Amino acid sequence: MKKDIERLRKRFVNAGNEREEEQIDKEMRSLMDKDIDAFAEGLLECVKDTNKKVEESVLRDKLESVLPFISVSTLAWSPAWKGGAFDICRSR
């Protein structure tokens, strides 16, 4: 069901006119009528995937301006990393 929903979403985004959008809407309603529970589950999975992509994009945008100035060795020696799982990075 998720694949069908994704396919219809892509068609809707690329629809060139209102007639195409109406046809896609009819197909979406047909999927809902077939199995509302499976449709809801598929739609929820699509939303989760979209949220994950947005979160990754936002994080990437935030780090983009900072990463060129931070070296890996700086991260390894920072107080936030000391004493934790990454303490092995320090030489003994």
Q: What is the reported pLDDT for 62?
A: 81
Both structure tokens of 27: 């197909």
Q: Which domain holds residue 61?
A: 2-89
Structural domain count of the chain: 1
Residue 24 in contact with residue 8, Cβ under 8 Å?
A: yes
- Express each pLDDT in 30-83 by its tens digit: 999 999 999 999 999 999 999 999 998 888 888 787 777 666 666 566 555 555
Give the integer Cα–Cα distance in Å for 9 and 39: 13
Phi-psi region of 62 (alpha: psi -120 to 50; beta: other; left: phi over 0): alpha
Q: What is the reported pLDDT for 71?
A: 66
Higher pLDDT residue, 29 or 92? 29
Q: Look up the pTM and report it.
A: 0.60
The DSSP element (H or E) to which 71 belongs, if any, is none
Both structure tokens of 29: 């309603």
